[in-house]
Amino acid sequence: CQGKLSYNHLSLSVIRYDDIYELNIHYHEGTSAAGSSRESTSKESVTKFFDEKGTLREDLFHPFVKEACIVLTKPSASKKTQ
């Protein structure tokens, strides 16, 4: 996610022995003292982005994250928090 004076935080968490992971994206636009923040959380099966050898399929993962960022950076994407 990119924008004027913006920063992002992506985190990925998986519970041991579970195939569901949680992807959290936090987007902040503006200076650290002022601006708007939005967050997005997605839960998916690891089988969506990893092959049978456990290798991340970047060709599948990157477009997913890019689309989530595009949606998140739109002003009406989610409820703004201060």
Instruction: State pLDDT tens for residues 17-60.
Output: 888 888 888 877 766 656 677 888 888 888 888 888 989 899 99
What torsion, rounded to 10 degrees, do the Cα atoms 69, 38, 44, 52 define?
40
Contact 8, 26 (CB under 8 A): yes
In the 8-state DSSP scheme, what is residue 56? B
Q: How confident is the model at residue 61 (pLDDT cuts 50, 70, 90)?
A: confident
Confidence of residue 82 (pLDDT cuts 50, 70, 90): very low
pLDDT at 57: 92
pTM of the predicted protein model: 0.59
pLDDT recorded at residue 26 = 80
